[in-house]
Amino acid sequence: MLNASVPSLQPLPLRSALALSALSGLLFVPGFPPVGWWPCTLVAFAPLYRALAGQTPARALLLGWTSLFLSSTLVFSWLVGTLRAFGGLPLPLAILGLLLLSAWHGLRLGLATALAVRAEGRGWPAAPTFAVSVLALEWLFPLIFTWNLATAMGDNGALLQSAELGGPLLVDLLILGPSLALGELWRSRAEGRSPSAAVVGVGLMLPALAAGWGVIRMGQITERQAGAPELRVGLVQPNVRTGGDAAVSDLQASTRALAAAGAELVVWPETAIHTSYNDLTYQKTIPEQVTGSLGIPTIFGVRTWRLGATEGAPKVRHNSVMLAARDGSILGRYDKHRLLVFGEYTPFSEILPAWASGLVRGGRYTPGVGPQPLEWDGHRVQALVCYEDILAGFVNEQVAASQPDLLVNLTNDAWFGDSAEPWIHQAEARLRAIEHRRFLVRATNSGPSGVVDATGTATQLGGLFVAEDRIVHVRLLQGGTLYERVGDAVGWISSLVVALLLLLRPREHR
């Protein structure tokens, strides 16, 4: 047994345990962009793990909730400004919205720690029980803004390379190792026993070995992408402020300048054009009004609509991405699949009273369905709109279906202002490049725009709230990864293990 529980250990008083759980929450914060102090992330869970020793499941729920509530409130503090600008909420309600979101986030870790303590009380070893519980809840628990522990790893690209084997959850398992090793040393001293060599050894050696393999793997991928076909992609960042749209003439001028400078494909941001186009006529009107004079393949975001199925029914709207050919004709279209709650749709808006639905100015869009790759000249692009590029499982499904040689993300992060959110978004998106070993191009309204190569290294990033056009060099790559084949197996396995731990007891405890 790796680390059997010790029934005689006296739990810490609630005040001391809460202080340790709060310390874990604080240690987790510096790992997030723009600070990116990833060593803090590797030890962040050690105080919480120590605080859980001997506690009841109810107290464990409180301790885990407190830890993540605190870190979420600090990391997502930019949400206050977003709710005011995007949702039209007054400051007190915007702050309340942040606290409610953090309370929901806290429940994810609270449930994990409660399950871990419950399983430990049944006689299962503490360290692996804690690890699988955290992973299971991270996979199962629904969030508006999805994020993983790997998001807080800063520039530690070596450890992130394991994402091609098991996605972000495998990286999260590696991240937990040092915290559990330190926590085991802490617990064993309090219990007056020798620390478990297995917990300490595995917790320290496994991440170290994975990082060493990651360094080697980065070299292999760098060599592979150097021999792949190159494509020069022009990125247009118009510096559109909250709720605004770029002038079509400015987008056209930028595109022509990039084409003259050698770009072979140009990408505009999400919903770059103010006009919303009818599904029945956009094939004619968009080339006439926008793309006909560009002279270069262009990917751009646009709103589309069609009449409802019955008279008086609301219009069916899509947040779309179009690919225009050199002559301006429309070659392909992708409709955003995963809509942002309260931004692009309001849950239960059909049954809410008018006064309740009016509190939040949410859009009414319809999700797209099925694979919709964009193709031209033998190239195939998988478009991702806004926060779709942080959804590992969704991107995996799309890549498996379309087999693209390039990922392109069109984003509008202007709603979040000059805050940490655009950089957090960028950090989360880079994992998709590693998971699929393809380049990821990101064109945003307000920055940062740039490219992430197949090793997860972000290059040629621009700044925030500046108008700038740039050409980035990408490599067109094909070939699958283990993660594309097994998907979120780590999540499935962790959830199954947690269920078995709660149903069964070790032989010596029956």
CATH number where 376 lies: 3.60.110.10
Would you state the pLDDT for residue 170? 97
CA angle 231, 233, 235 (to 5 degrees): 170
Please identify which residue in the block is written with the tokens 């793990």: 49
Are 218 and 267 part of one and the same domain? Answer: no
Q: Are residues 58 and 40 in the same domain?
A: yes
Q: What amino acid is encoded at 181 in this protein?
A: A
Q: What region, left, alpha or beta, does residue 453 occupy, with left being phi > 0 and alpha being psi -120 to 50 degrees?
A: beta
430 is written with which tokens?
A: 């880079």
What pLDDT score was predicted for residue 505? 86
Evaluate whether residue 4 is within a structural domain: no
Identify whether residues 234 and 216 lie together within a single domain: no
Nearest to 369 by CA among 336, 399, 395: 336
Q: Are strands 276-278 and 458-459 parallel, antiparallel or unpaired?
A: unpaired
The two three-digit tokens of residue 59, written as one number: 């107290």
Contacts of 424 (CB under 8 A, 6+ apart): 32, 33, 75, 147, 151
Question: What DSSP assignment string belongs to 9-71?
Answer: PPPPPHHHHHHHHHHHHHHHGGGSTTT--HHHHHHTTHHHHHHTTT--HHHHHHHHHHHHHHH
Instruction: Please check whether residue 504 is in contact with residue 118, taking contact to mean a CB–CB distance below 8 angstroms.
Output: no
Q: Is residue 8, in this structure, part of any structural domain at all?
A: no
For residue 362, the model assigns a pLDDT of 53
Question: Residue 158's domain spans which residues?
Answer: 14-223+488-509
Instruction: Provide block-wise average pLDDT over 10 residues at a time, the chain (510 residues).
Output: 51 97 97 94 98 97 98 95 82 95 97 97 95 97 90 93 97 97 96 94 97 98 96 93 76 96 96 90 96 96 89 86 97 94 65 50 79 94 95 96 96 88 94 97 93 92 89 94 96 97 79
What are the residues whose beta carbons fall under 8 Å from the beta carbon of 121, sequence distance 6 or more? 5, 57
428 inside domain: yes
> Using CA atoms, how far apart are residues 39 and 262, in angstroms rounded to an integer?
41
Residue 206 near residue 166, CB atoms below 8 Å: no
Residues 398 and 432 in one domain: yes
What strands, in cross-sheet order, belong to the sheet with 406-411? Answer: 374-376, 379-385, 406-411, 440-444, 450-452, 458-459
48 part of a folded domain = yes
Together in a domain, 246 and 127: no
Taking Cα atoms as reference points, which of 296, 247, 308 lies closest to residue 272?
A: 247
Neighbouring C-beta atoms of residue 134, cutoff 10 Å: 29
Q: pLDDT value at position 2?
A: 44
pTM listed for this prediction? 0.92
Overall size of the chain counted in residues: 510
One domain for residues 148 and 251: no
Question: What distance in Å separates the CA atoms of residue 185 and residue 180, rounded to the nearest whole number?
Answer: 9
Position 254 scores a pLDDT of: 96
- Domain match, 460 and 380 both: yes
CB 261 within 8 A of CB 232: no
Residue 143 located in a structural domain: yes
Query: Do 138 and 80 share a domain, yes or no?
Result: yes
Query: Per the domain annotation, does 1 fall within a domain?
Result: no
Same domain, 217 and 238: no
Shared domain check, 193 and 104: yes
Contact status, residue 68 vs residue 25, Cβ threshold 8 Å: yes
Do residues 36 and 179 share a domain? yes
362 lies in the same domain as 253:
yes
Total number of domains constituting the chain? 2
Is 3 domain-assigned? no
Amino acid letter, residue 132: V
Residue 345: inside a domain, yes or no?
yes
